[in-house]
Amino acid sequence: MAVRPVLTLGNPLLRRVARDLDPAELDTPAIRRLAEDMVDTMHHEDGIGIAAPQVGESLQLAVIEIASSSPRYPGHESFALHYFVNPRITVLDPVEQGFWEGCLSVPNLRGYVERPRRIRVDYLDLDAHPRTVEAEGFLATVLQHELDHLQGKLFVDRVRDTTRLATLEDYVRFWLPKPG
């Protein structure tokens, strides 16, 4: 139950494929504390997801929670807090959709990323129960973004057109859709 430092672009740990967790590890105090710390860190940073490598642990664990009042991504459908252990993505619809993405590990930068619009994620929850989530739209993008961290990938690796990279200030100024 602590806020951990978030590793940033350039730290080699962010580029490693994280190791799978043995289901027996999930009930250990260390993993439970890590999961709680990840949630605390995500909330502290106003994020909607965080992966264990971002807080210095090269493990297949990610946390996602989208509040409808998210200051970083307002106006998107909420998604209750989920813990994803050893997740595997299956693309259900390869047609791509694009969103401007940001990342706690790449501060002050946004980039336009296109990803498959509909996916399924098979994973274990923190109690080692197998679970499945099917997602489309923004949630599918969020899941793919966070789970990329477990494979040593960052959103900047997925930006195809580098003219669609912007500082946060310039994203708000030039790219953020204006209301009305």
Residues annotated as catalytic (active site), given as ranges: 146
DSSP letters of 73-141? STTSPPEEEEEEEEEEEEEEEEEEEEEEEEETTEEEEEEEEEEEEEEEEEEE-TTS-EEEEEEEHHHHH
Q: Which 3 state secondary structure label does DSSP give 9?
A: coil
Q: In whole angstroms, give the CA distance from residue 54 to residue 154.
A: 10
What element of type H or E holds 160?
none
Q: Which 3 state secondary structure label does DSSP give 33?
A: helix
C-alpha dist (Å) from residue 49 to 75, 124, 137, 156: 16, 17, 16, 17
10 Å Cβ neighbour count for 91? 14
Tokens matching residue 132: 């499945």
